[in-house]
Chains A and B, each alone.
Chain A
Amino acid sequence: QGQMPVIYVVAENLFSLLGKTLNDKELEDICFEFGLEVETTTYKDMPHRDIVEEYKEDELVFKVEVPANRIDLLCVEGLAEAMRCYLQLAEPSIFKVVPLEKKETIIVEESCNQIRPFIVGAVLRGVKFNPKNYNSFISLQDKLHENYCRKRTLVAIGTHDLDTIKGPITYKALPPKEIIFTALHQTKDMDVTELFSVLEKDLKLRNYLGIIRDSPVYPVIYDAEGHVLSLPPIINGERTKLKMTTTNVFIESTATDLSRAKANLQALVCMFAQYCEKPFTVEPVEVVAVDKSVHQYPDLTYKEMKLDIDYAKQLSGVDDLQPADIQKYLLKMGMHSKPAEDGKMVVEIPPTRGDILHQCDIIEDLIIGYGINRIPARLPKTHTIGKQLPINMFSDLIRREFAFAGFDECVTFSLISKEDQSNCFLKPLDTKEVVQIKNPKTAEFQIIRTSMLPSILKCVSANRTAKLPLKIFEVNDVVKKDPESDTGASNQRNVCAAFSNTKSGLENIHGLLDLLMLKLKIPFSSDNGYSLRAAQEDHFMKGLQADILFHGEPIGQMGIIHPEVLKKFEISYPV
């Protein structure tokens, strides 16, 4: 459910960061147990190959599917860090924010509240970029933008060369006409209205323009000299752009969801702090909020969470867990832990693990560290009594009788097009009855059927080469609007059968109805059973149709389908 993000890592890069080479099978098995899916491919087949590094076309590349909650695994650095711990090749890296006297400062103006209220930031000092890690840094931002940041709507990241910026920095929102700067890869100054018309042609960036386009003010970040750093969440300025030669990296990240922006920044800086002059350290940035409160980012504290050992045993099914085992298995998963005085364990949650919300998340990691396939199976001890739903049991009995009567069962789709509906009933859509879909990708899925007849006719049409007579039926749910239901719509179980031959043979359908009623012990009587009454529907032939009544109330219809309807469904035999 929801696509799992996929990353491509060059095998040689992974193994050099890992400090160990694995063969394909070993890697696949390890990743399986860890919860990652790996396929081997080559550089040639890697999408979005990046700008800088040249690899051989047949260079071995791993395609890794990463769980959507593990943003710390979206780059080769993070993957290697996790695997180093899991394979017990190294202890988890410890990330730190270095205390600074004078920090870079971002001042937030009130206008931001109208569009994108939050900003966080960080500095990576003395970074040594090479083509490999530079590529990885750029592509990690892409992955974060696409997944965790919800295509930049919730959070957007901008990275800059700190040495081109003069602080303090201001974050505000202005009308687009008033923002003029040279955007990344552009050659001249433009106001943002003009810039948007240029970016409209950019296959990637045009997807994000809609996030702010209709707002009267657009978010923008300026340095002290009035240069634009970026126009979040769209594009950075050319002047402050990150280069391979950049050594001091300024990261800003604007957001509509502050907690997500913080977690996102933490993951990003931790992955790349290893390349800093003082590895695994990050310099803080100060943000002065609208209310003049001062906040420091990123927050790389290791939050402590208590783990109840009994609960861990209970949930994992590993009965003989000792504190030392817990320590060992959690260390494999990148977490330090120690026994606390109250008999519980204290687990230090790394700042990269924003996905850990509850003890049960730690226990899942514990289970992975232990090995999910090592846990023995057992059957739950409480006994319960099986039971089927009366409506489904009833449906099955009716299906049986229809098949015994020589009819073949269909399973058709419940979503149809408005055209199917109007082709079938020769009248406009009854919006009082029909449930409509807001965002169908194609016309096939515009509405939910209120009758199975359109689907059955489509089925007859698709079976034009089948042996005659064609006898088909379906027992399934249709959906109608229903003010009694909390959602305003409810299902209704229907049956529909069709007979098609070189001549119409309505008596076959009539006979099927009689058979059904016979089996249901419903007599042919207008008072206390079923009866027929001449009907006048456009989609049946005149005088050759009837309403089916139960206790005098209409419950269905039968008739010879009108030739106009047959024509619309491209059916050449009577139905």
Chain B
Amino acid sequence: LGIIMEEKVLAILNDKGEIEDSLSFAKENSYELQALDGVLKSLVVDEYIVLENKQRNIIEFTAQGSVALKEGSPEFKLAKMLAVGETKPKAEIESHFPANSFKPVLGAAIKNKWVKADKDSITRIAEDIQDVDHQSLQKFADNNSVEAHEKKAITLFTKRKLIATRIIKYYLVKKGPKFRAERVKGVADLTEEMLKNGSWKTTEFKEINTNAKGKDLVPGSFHPLMKAREQVKEILIEMGFEEMPTNRFVESSFWNFDALFQPQQHPARDMHDTFFVSDPEESNFIPEPYGAQVKKTHEEGIGGSLGYQYNWKYSEAKKNLLRTHTTAVSARMLYFLGKEEKFTPKRYFSIDRVYRNETLDATHLAEFHQVEGLVADYDLNIRDLKGVISEFFTRIGIKNIKFKPTYNPYTEPSMEIYSYHQGRDEWVEIGNSGVFRPEMLLPMGLPENVRVIAWGISLERPVMINTNLKNIREMEGHKVQVEFVKKHPFYAPKLT
């Protein structure tokens, strides 16, 4: 059928030079519009024809209008139900018309002076009646172009909901630069056979279509979050950081909170914020004498600190939970560092899963990935922290940052990291940072002038900002569509 259509199009163009109206053409030949469209587009690609977009306004009959066209106008029908001079109850006549349509019909019949009506009855008064409206409708049916009719008439019948106007789009079809009366299909592929027998020399090849897309490939793909993980990991390794073993989702309160000088009454340790583990419920080991040191630090302080002055309990520290931050692992690493005979400066990082028992919404998950970096060295301070953070963010493409003082239980001073978001024209929080408190480091046995600076961001945050997603579940979790994963771009570095 496509070939017949194609032949017809080319024959008419060859004959008359153009097809004025693709719609009428389809109607005349009983072609399906979609099929014709396909044929025309394919001819355009090979430049046999060119299409000009056109549109015009047409008149269409409503359901009511179609009935009137067939059976005469409703007011005519009404008048015909009565003999001249005859009176009938209004209700009886109304019952012959569709619900809620009677009032304008009666109005039209009265206006035409065909009938008169009082509250309950209708009387025919005119002898000779002509269905003028039906004649008008017939004219619309004969020519559906809006231009062919008086504006007033169209408005009137539109108001009466018998007709409606609509814009339709169609093509004016003309010959293209490579027009021929017959289609010569080019060959798309060079084949092994052509190479063998030399027929490639005489074969007419179909020219490349520079407007079309290539074939959809079916590659495997990495998840956007894991791509981001890889890039962040590479940057941190470039900056001299060593990866920490964070593969322990279940952690004791001791390492997650107590070792970080977070008091046992701190709100973060509430059931509302933290997932506790019911089985296995308790951790069976807290290293000593470190545990006792931590207890003393919470209760009385250390190195000039007042401590929190409350009764610190091992039972609370032993409670197992899903770690709320990877800093739990950082604490373990620093503890091991403190046990070494001679301190060596370290840069550590990790990117792994953490858990929050929070209220979930479009940007909050119960589990997400935390990127954490820390530097342990003699006499580090705020300047080093700002330097490392700036370097890291510059490398992940965030240049404009500033710092806001904040409160974390285990860092002092503490700073939130803000970056300027061009699209939103505002500063947005992108991470948290600080210098670990002496109350955290001294019990570990680290030398007094060793300081540890650290920062953390969520891995999801920059990916969300880059992918412009509104709901984080479209990016992470089992509901993510493989199509999204397949099509997700990578972040190319600037190659200037």
Q: Cβ of B278 and Cβ of A67 under 8 Å apart?
A: no
Q: Which of A33, A67, A434, A438 has the most CB of B within 10 A?
A: A438
Residue of B nearest to A148 (CB): B267
Contacts of A434-456 to chain B: CB distance below 8 A: 434-441, 444-445, 448, 455-456
Contacts of A306-335 to chain B: CB distance below 8 A: 306, 314-317
Chain B residues with CB below 8 A from A434, complex form: 279
Stretch at the interface among A77-85, A99-107, A198-206, A380-388: A380-388
Q: Cβ of B381 and Cβ of A314 under 8 Å apart?
A: yes
Contacts of B183-216 to chain A: CB distance below 8 A: none
Stretch at the interface among B58-66, B121-129, B412-420: B412-420
B437 within 8 A of A: yes
Interface string of A467-506 (1 = CB under 8 A from B): 1001110000101010001111111010000000000000
Stretch at the interface among A184-192, A366-374, A538-546: A366-374
Shortest B374–chain A CB gap in Å is: 11
Chain A residues with CB below 8 A from B359, complex form: 441
Chain A residues with CB below 8 A from B284, complex form: 486-488
Once bound together, how far apart are the Cα atoms of A376 and B382, in whole Å? 9
Question: Count of chain A residues with Cβ under 8 Å from any Cβ of B?
Answer: 102
Chain A residues with CB below 8 A from B309, complex form: 259
Once bound together, how far apart are the Cα atoms of A383 and B347, in whole Å? 9
Q: Which of A386, A392, A477, A487 has the most CB of B within 10 A?
A: A487
Chain A residues with CB below 8 A from B345, complex form: 382, 384
Interface residues on B, range: 35 or more
Chain A residues with CB below 8 A from B400, complex form: none
Stretch at the interface among B43-51, B141-149, B157-165, B229-237: B229-237
Chain B residues with CB below 8 A from A448, complex form: 249-250, 322
Residue of A nearest to B218 (CB): A406
When the two chains form the complex, which single residue of B310, B353, B357 contacts A439, counting CB atoms closer than 8 Å?
B357
Known A-B contacts A364-B405, A408-B220, A488-B280; A415 and B383 likewise in contact (beta carbons under 8 Å): no
B88 within 8 A of A: no
Q: Cβ of B320 and Cβ of A487 under 8 Å apart?
A: yes
Chain B residues with CB below 8 A from A463, complex form: 481-482
Chain A residues with CB below 8 A from B382, complex form: 315-317, 367, 372, 375
Q: Which of B226, B359, B413 has the most CB of A within 10 A?
A: B413
B408 within 8 A of A: yes
Q: Cβ of B306 and Cβ of A357 under 8 Å apart?
A: yes
Q: Cβ of A411 and Cβ of B239 under 8 Å apart?
A: no
Once bound together, how far apart are the Cα atoms of A491 and B326, in whole Å? 14
Other A-B pairs beyond A35-B407, A437-B277, 20, CB < 8 Å: A1-B324, A2-B267, A2-B268, A33-B405, A68-B407, A260-B310, A315-B413, A316-B381, A317-B381, A317-B382, A357-B306, A363-B413, A378-B386, A379-B391, A388-B243, A413-B476, A462-B481, A487-B250, A489-B250, A489-B320
18 A-B residue contacts at CB 8 Å?
Answer: A357-B305, A357-B306, A360-B438, A364-B405, A364-B413, A367-B405, A375-B383, A380-B388, A384-B240, A392-B243, A406-B219, A408-B221, A408-B485, A410-B223, A439-B275, A441-B359, A458-B478, A462-B480
User: Lowest 5 A-B CB distances belong to which pairs?
Assistant: A488-B280, A35-B405, A67-B407, A386-B237, A317-B383
Residues in B lying within 8 Å of A, measured CB to CB: 218-223, 225-226, 230, 233, 236-245, 247-252, 265-268, 270-271, 273, 275-285, 301, 303-310, 320, 322, 324-325, 345-347, 353, 355, 357, 359, 365-367, 375, 377, 379-384, 386-391, 402-409, 412-415, 435, 437-439, 449, 451, 453, 476-483, 485-486
